[in-house]
């Protein structure tokens, strides 16, 4: 990999020192996704941007233990409250949420003038019908260029080391708007013990499923546009 995007781990929450240190060791090759809460100052946001943090992650997934929000995360309400400041600093918003919530917040993010990146396939799973109103709403937002979607189909799949149950949904997204899709490894594969994917297989599978042109967009051109990497010369 020539370039990568590092996402702030929830265990560090608002302490970005490890992330910023990593970014400083590979300037130009690495970009970061950080986390804020309602108390994050304008100066802190400015310092994060200078360090190479280009987006901020928000979570609307319930804690698996049934007790509120995932620890170490901030909800979309923080993005809503700080939308003007986020626009001024040039941050995009990354969101992890169920499919229906993704569709609902895509419309709100558009009204707020925020670029929205939907994590974990926007909540699409093998059980999602391609005729589901929420899936169709997602395609509509994708078609309008309102959102970007991170393709972590291997985590959503129920077929470890095969992932074929996600192929139809993947191809529907590619057919809709391949220029708004992003490859996401989801490394280091937390909570995937015994199901860890082989990244080489994932890259090959992506090419096999979508073809050379869309694969290069997903792996190279699209992230260059969104994250601000230098564009490759044609």
Where residue 171 sits, what CATH number does that domain have?
A: 3.20.20.140
> Residue 35's beta-bridge partner residues?
none
Confirm whether 82 is domain-assigned. Answer: yes
Are 91 and 161 part of one and the same domain? no
Q: Which two tokens stand for residue 78?
A: 């923080």
> Would residue 29 count as lying in a domain?
yes
Distances (CA, A) of 229 to 23, 87, 182, 206, 212: 13, 19, 14, 22, 21
Domain count, the chain: 2
Residue 151 sits in the same domain as residue 174: yes
**48-106 residue pLDDT tens:** 999 999 999 999 988 777 777 788 899 999 999 999 999 999 999 999 999 999 999 99
In which domain, by residue range, is 111 found? 106-115+124-228
Q: Decide if 101 is inside a domain.
A: no
Predicted confidence band of residue 233 (pLDDT cuts 50, 70, 90): low
DSSP string, 83-103: HHHHHHHT-EEEEE--HHHHH
The rounded Cα 185 to chain-centroid distance in angstroms is 10
Same structural domain for residues 15 and 39?
yes
Say if residues 183 and 152 touch (Cβ distance below 8 Å): no
Query: 233 in a domain, yes or no?
Result: no
Are 139 and 39 members of one domain? no
| Residues 130, 188 within the same domain | yes
Tell me: do 141 and 181 sit in the same domain.
yes
- pLDDT at residue number 191: 82
Q: Is residue 5 part of a domain?
A: yes
Q: What is the pTM of this model?
A: 0.95
| Shared-domain flag, residues 184 and 207 | yes
> Would you say residue 234 lies in a domain?
no
Q: What is the pLDDT of residue 103?
A: 97
Lowest-pLDDT choice from 30-34, 60-64, 126-130, 142-146: 60-64
Q: Is the pLDDT of residue 171 over 90?
A: yes
Whether 144 is covered by a domain: the verdict is yes
- Reported confidence tier of residue 201, pLDDT bands at 50, 70, 90: very high
């Amino acid at each position: 990999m020539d370039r990568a995007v590092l996402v702030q781990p929830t265990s560090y929450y608002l302490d970005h020192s490890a992330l910023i240190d990593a970014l400083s060791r590979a300037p130009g090759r690495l970009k970061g996704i950080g986390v804020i809460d309602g108390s994050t100052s304008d100066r802190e946001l400015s310092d994060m941007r200078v360090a190479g943090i280009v987006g901020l992650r928000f979570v609307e997934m319930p804690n698996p233990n049934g007790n509120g929000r995932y620890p170490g995360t901030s909800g979309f309400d923080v993005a809503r409250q700080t939308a003007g400041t986020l626009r001024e600093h040039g941050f995009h918003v990354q969101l992890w949420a169920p499919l229906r919530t993704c569709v609902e917040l895509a419309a709100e993010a558009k009204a707020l003038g925020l670029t929205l990146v939907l994590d974990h396939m926007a909540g699409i799973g093998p059980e999602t019908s391609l005729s589901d109103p929420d899936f169709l709403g997602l395609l509509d937002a994708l078609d309008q260029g309102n959102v970007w979607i991170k393709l972590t189909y291997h985590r959503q799949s129920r077929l470890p080391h095969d992932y074929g149950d996600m192929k139809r949904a993947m191809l529907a997204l590619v057919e809709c708007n391949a220029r708004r899709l992003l490859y996401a490894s989801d490394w280091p594969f937390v909570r995937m013990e015994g199901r860890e994917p082989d990244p080489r297989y994932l890259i090959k599978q992506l090419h096999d499923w979508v073809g050379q042109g869309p694969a290069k967009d997903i792996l190279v051109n699209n992230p260059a546009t969104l994250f601000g990497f230098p564009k490759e010369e044609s």
